[in-house]
Amino acid sequence: MINFNRPPFLGTEFDYIRQAVENQKICGDGPFTKQCNEWIEDKTGTAKALLTTSCTHALEMAALLLDIKPGDEVIMPSFTFVSTADAFVLRGAKIVFVDIRPDTMNINEKLIEDAITDKTKAIVPVHYAGVGCEMDTIMDIARRHNLAVVEDAAQGVMSEYKGRALGSIGDYGCYSFHETKNYSMGEGGAILIKDESKIPDAEILREKGTNRSRFLRGQIDKYTWVNYGSSYLPSDMNAAYLWAQLQEADKINNDRLASWQKYHDAFELLEKKGAVRRPIIPDECKHNAHMYYLITESLDTRTKFISYLKENGVMAVFHYVPLHSAEAGQKFGRFHGEDKYTTNLSERLVRLPMFYGLEEKESDLIIEKVCEFFK
């Protein structure tokens, strides 16, 4: 069976984890965490990056830093993972879902302005499959209405929009290093902070409401409780695993892009015949091959397609159940405008196995079985 995902692993992770153990520094903010933070800052040009225990927690930090309160409204797509909404629901916000674009499956920027009310506080674009949202338009809307922008760039590490790294464009950007993402530490993430003046608050929030970060830098001689906070910092052992991968980020990225392109070329004919629709990458976007999906003709075709692949040793999966149709989505949110594409496309989308180290013979078999099904 070819699994849908295989966690990224290079081999060098063991050496770094051993070093972390030998350093006798396995708690948070040790040397590996620092190296990962700096790597993200260099790569993206953001003022500050801080590793977190997950992307979910990075989103929670952003919601707290923005002081989201009960009654506030936050605009996002319904076609996303639950964490995008949860982080703001935890602060008591109402989620306002808008429809996606049919090409990228990203939030339709043209529908955002109409969903804004006097309660709106933030827009949360999700860069689906590591393909950038129309950020110039979104940032312009946010500026004109005095709203914050939090990028859910969980899938967007190493991707760009008009030459800028995803996650570095909005006020806050959130990365995921979960085992299903391009670069991993098992569970983990990062928050990217654009405005330097927000860094002290973020550090305090992440360190249980204390100024331990300043203490670790030798700026004060003891640390105390200065504000509310939580524990959003990962163990340096996890950061050691991630550091091995960030060092080889180009190698991982190129390997994924090659598998992605192989699929894309192989399915061109199927698309011409009208059997499937392939992913669309806008010219201004550089993607990271986080995902390869196909859009089938109907829900029925998709169901048969997934079981055909499974019978033939290939795990393909679908997602997302649109958040506005879920029990919690109905309780905590509302859909603004018409659901033209969200439900329809979510019922027709299939993701093929895509991971670092997908072998030629594996992708050959997957391609063969996909083409066989649509024959």
Ligand X SMILES: *Cc1c(COP(=O)(O)O)cnc(C)c1O
**Binding footprint of ligand X on the chain (CB under 6 A):** 54-56, 80-81, 83-84, 126, 152, 154-155, 176, 178, 189
The neighbouring-strand residues paired with 152 are 126, 174
Rounded Cα distance between 64 and 69, Å, is: 9
Strand 349-352 with 164-165, pairing: unpaired
In sequence order, which residues have a C-beta less than 8 Å from that of residue 184 and are 6 or more positions away? 7, 8, 177, 178, 241, 242, 245
Residue 151 Cβ, how far from ligand X at the closest point, in Å?
A: 10
Nearer to ligand X, 155 or 296 (CB): 155
The neighbouring-strand residues paired with 334 are 96
Q: Which helix (H) or strand (E) holds 140?
A: helix 135-145
Nearer to ligand X, 55 or 289 (CB): 55
Residue 197 Cβ, how far from ligand X at the closest point, in Å?
A: 26
Residue 374 Cβ, how far from ligand X at the closest point, in Å?
A: 28
Nearer to ligand X, 84 or 296 (CB): 84
Nearer to ligand X, 46 or 83 (CB): 83
Residue 222 Cβ, how far from ligand X at the closest point, in Å?
A: 33
Q: What strands, in cross-sheet order, belong to the sheet with 120-123?
A: 48-52, 189-193, 172-176, 148-152, 120-123, 73-77, 94-98, 333-335
Residue 30 carries which DSSP code?
S
Amino acid occupying residue 191: I
Residue 56 Cβ, how far from ligand X at the closest point, in Å?
A: 3
Residue 225 Cβ, how far from ligand X at the closest point, in Å?
A: 27
Residue 77 Cβ, how far from ligand X at the closest point, in Å?
A: 10
Nearer to ligand X, 275 or 316 (CB): 316
Taken in order 363, 364, 370, 371, the sign of the CA dihedral is positive
Nearer to ligand X, 178 or 286 (CB): 178
Nearer to ligand X, 111 or 150 (CB): 150
SS3 content of the chain, % helix, strand, coil (to 5): 40, 15, 40
In sequence order, which residues have a C-beta less than 8 Å from that of residue 125 and are 6 or more positions away? 76, 77, 106, 107, 133, 135, 138, 149, 151, 152, 170
Rounded (5°) CA angle 107-339-334: 80
Nearer to ligand X, 239 or 275 (CB): 239
Residue 58 Cβ, how far from ligand X at the closest point, in Å?
A: 8
